[in-house]
Amino acid sequence: MTTILSANLGYPRIGEKREWKKAIEAFWQGDISEQSLKAQTKNLRLNNLKKQKEQGIDLIPTGDFSFYDHVLDTAVAFNIIPERFQHHDPTDLASYFAIARGETNAVAAEMTKWFNTNYHYIVPELSGTSPKLIENRALYYYQEAKEELDIDGKPVIVGPVTFVKLAKGYQEDELESWLNRLLPLYEQVLNELAAAGASWVQIDEPILGTNLSEKEIQLVEQVYQSIDNNVSGIQIILQTYFETVQHYQRITALPVKGIGLDFVHGDHLELIQKFGFPSDKVLGAGIINGRNVWRANLEEKYQFLQNIQQAANPETLIVQPSCSLLHVPVTKHLEEKLDTVVKDGLSFANEKLEELQILTTALQAGKQSVADAFKASQQAIAKLDQSEYRSQTPTIAKHKAKREISFAERKKLQQASLNLPLLPTTTIGSLPQTPQVKRTRTKWRKGEISDQAYEEFIGSETRRWIQIQEDLDLDVLVHGEFERNDMVEYFGEKLKGFAVTEFGWVQSYGSRCVKPPLLAGNVEWEKAITVKEIAYAQSLTDRPVKGMLTGPVTILNWSFVHEELPRFTVQDQIALALEKEVLALEEAGINIIQVDEPALREGLPLDRLKWPAYFDAAVNAFQLATATVKSETQIHTHMCYSEFGEIYEAIDGLDVDVISIETSRSHGEMVETFEKNDYKKDIGLGVYDIHSPRVPTLQELEVNIKRALETIDVEQFWINPDCGLKTRRETETIAALEKMVEAAKKIREQYTTIKQQ
């Protein structure tokens, strides 16, 4: 008879009210000591463990906590320290943060998206490092849970194959060599955990959901055979998530005790029904969606689990989330202002733990033992389905939009209209949101100041920054977005079909948290969203001011979209709503409109065979939103961390006039991709990193610009930071932009002189 257990794969780090974020930022600002930071975060960490223990979770993860990022933690633990930071003591927190954030004489390590999520990890740099185990973090956090709370936890470790595959600083044919260098360290970690009495360890290998080559899958087999040969006394559950595991039969045959599979985003039931599952192994059934916030249909999940159990007949079945709950907010109980129908339809991390226990109990003792919970689930789902959010069937006209004339012809018209200099300078959109801006917005939301007072404040900030930008001599200005809380949430507040939370925060990168809106139903544009503020900014200057919008793909990917909604249809609904906003901006005299798509690359399925359908839908949606403008109107977009070569055709298909790409931490690598692609439209490669507080030197900026101009024609190139400046302080922002404009003018003068000769 199959044993039924419950497990969690990871818990949100940030706290119900972002206590983690506040403590870390206080440390960065010098307001608290390292000792105080560690004490505060320990209390938070232990409280998180207590919640899971009180909920009755059988296998509670430990070591899922981080001060910044779990991949960075793994790198530091193994002494994988970038060469420019090796003079530091790696066990010192200030040194740890320096790698992630940079320091005066050293740029921060590269940061990119964790698979197809909005979580960012720090990319390990293997070149020039000497791996050794300097800190067994997994052991420390396991022992802490055992000693403080009597929890025999399940340590969580980033797997060796995933870690090396996500790293940089080595050649493709060195993958095996690096795995062999790191394997003894992993085995040491595991043996020390076994000696300490740990029963289980969770090794995360999400890379197994990607298209690994035959050689790479052979290396996976070698790695886990080595671990089996050299580690004893502890049970390994190999955890995969985000996608269907490639090479299913070979993965389930690996010499580990358990296999964790994502049954929400992967077709694993079909694979089990076709190929079976080893009867002597534990199956971790990821049945509760760890990446979305909508309440589970317990009846459907229960039936699905029974189907899994019947098909797999494992030794033990573990009921668990599809992935770590890092990707969802902590609890919905703080949400006092949400529409009751929407709130009842939600399930954040704490509520997902409840769902896990309900399903586990139903399998153990029968569904009748938790009949009330099943009934409540059905009623909440039915109420949302029958609400005004689902009042009509989504319909989208089957048509494709396209710009009237080619880019080459448009560029002539736009240049005649805008009269911009060579190497035009601009910013990406947002400007620093000072504590005063945030306090004023909070007071307004609480009703402590009037709408008029708030609008006057926003207007004064806009005026001040238009003047600052003119003084800096930027060529294309922005209004600053002082009225906006977040680039997606702001639009979620204004478009019909969305709802927003007060405390629905999730970690994006480092201490940066975002609050994704809830996309509950059909999307419609009801009135102008951005026109008033942008038109006002344009009235203050003779220089062009960009209209700033978030694109349909990003709004979709950075929202919690109800799972019953057809994603591509909703994406087109968003696009058609944005088209109305684009045309309203154009009607108000805004001649440059930027429609940002930082999440276009992020939303890609891990399986490359699914890419064409995704790209077709993304390109169509973007063109629905932007293609109906006049030829003289210049359309910009912005993207983050895009591996340009992989998505070149899709980016070209967007048919934008200017694209800016966030590349400052990997600037040279991005430039290299242009040597393989003949991109004809205008482009701005971010010339400095806004995720770091350091101000770039003039020399660094010149090097970045000149490196780009070796491949990109000077007539195509724009000069800008790599992302929005919302999170930066005002003084460092102005100082960095001064350097950027100075570098642009210096190089512009050189090229102008050459042309005159």
Chain segment 272-282, per-residue pLDDT in tens: 999 999 999 99
Query: What 8-state DSSP symbol labels residue 622?
Result: H
Q: For the beta carbon of residue 710, count every other beta carbon within 10 angstroms.
A: 9
Is 558 annotated to bind a ligand? Reply is yes
DSSP 454-512: HHHHHHHHHHHHHHHHHHHT-SSEE-B-TT-S-TTHHHHHHSEEEE--SS--EEEETTE
At 357, is the pLDDT very low, low, confident or very high (cuts 50, 70, 90)? very high
pLDDT average, residue stretch 592-600: 93
Active site residue 667: no
pLDDT average, residue stretch 36-42: 97
The CATH class that applies to domain 407-756 reads alpha beta
Is 638 annotated to bind a ligand? Reply is yes
Compare 649 and 599 and report the one with higher pLDDT.
599
**543 SS3 class:** coil
Tokens of 588: 């108000």
Instruction: Report percent pLDDT > 70 for the chain.
Output: 96
Residue 59 has pLDDT above 80, yes or no: yes
Range 3-68+132-388: architecture per CATH: Alpha-Beta Barrel (3.20)
Is 21 annotated to bind a ligand? Reply is yes
Domain ranges of the chain: 3-68+132-388, 407-756
Are the C-beta atoms of 341 and 383 separated by less than 8 Å?
A: yes
Q: Tell me the pLDDT tens digit for each residue of 622-674.
A: 999 999 999 999 999 998 755 666 777 788 889 999 998 876 555 455 666 66
Rounded alpha-carbon distances, angstroms, from residue 707 to 30, 110, 524: 37, 18, 44
- Which of these is catalytic: 120, 268, 636, 691? 691
At 197, is the pLDDT very low, low, confident or very high (cuts 50, 70, 90)? very high
Is 439 annotated to bind a ligand? Reply is no
Is 428 annotated to bind a ligand? Reply is yes
Query: What is the chain's mean pLDDT, rounded?
Result: 93
At which residue do the structure tokens 């994988």 appear? Answer: 80
Is 243 annotated to bind a ligand? Reply is no
Sheet holding 518-524, edge to edge: 496-499, 518-524, 560-561
Is 228 annotated to bind a ligand? Reply is no
**594 SS3 class:** strand
Compare 196 and 724 and report the one with higher pLDDT.
196
pLDDT value of residue 687: 86
Judge whether 3-68+132-388 and 407-756 match in fold: yes
pLDDT average, residue stretch 177-190: 98
